[in-house]
Amino acid sequence: MPNESGDHTELTPEALDVLQDIQDETKRLRQIDLAETPPAAVFHAD
C-alpha cells in the first residue's frame, strides 16, 4: 500500500524545499503539550 496519496509519486525539487521548511517548523508544534484540547471546527455554516 502506498504511503502517499496520488498517482504521481516523484516530488519536484520545489516540493522538497517546501517539505523541508514545513518539517522544520513542525518540530515546534510537536513540542506543545495540547492536553485535552480538541481540534478546531473545520467547517462553518454558509
Partner 1 sequence: MTDADIKKLTLADAVQLLASQKISPPELAAAVVSRIDRLNPEMRAFITVIPPENSVQHAPPLHGVPLSVKDLYDLKGVPTTAGSKVFAGRTPKEDATAVKNLKDAGALIVGKTNLHEFAFGVTTINPHYGVARNPWDPARISGGSSGGSASAVSLGMGFGSLGTDTGGSIRIPAALCGIVGLKPTYGRVSLRGVVPLSWSLDHAGPMTRTVQDAAIVIEIITGHSGYTGALTGNISGVRVGIPNNYFYERLALPVEKAIDQAIRSLEKLGAKIIRIDVPGIAIHRAIWLQIASPEAYSYHERYLNKHAPLYGADVRGRLEAGRALLSIDYVRAQRARTRVKEECRRLLEQVDVIVTPTTPIAAPRIEDVNKPWGTGPETAAAALTRFTRFFNVVGLPAISIPCGFTTEDLPMGMQIAGKPFDEFTVLRVAHAYEQAAGWTERRPAI
Which residue ranges make up the site for partner 1 (CB under 8 A)?
4-8, 11-19, 21-22, 25-26, 28-30, 32, 34, 37-40, 42-46
Q: How far is the CB of 3 from partner 1 (least distance, A)?
A: 9
CA distance linking residue 25 with residue 42, whole number of Å: 22
Q: How far is the CB of 13 from partner 1 (least distance, A)?
A: 8
CA distance linking residue 15 with residue 26, whole number of Å: 16
Q: How far is the CB of 28 from partner 1 (least distance, A)?
A: 5
CA distance linking residue 33 with residue 24, whole number of Å: 18
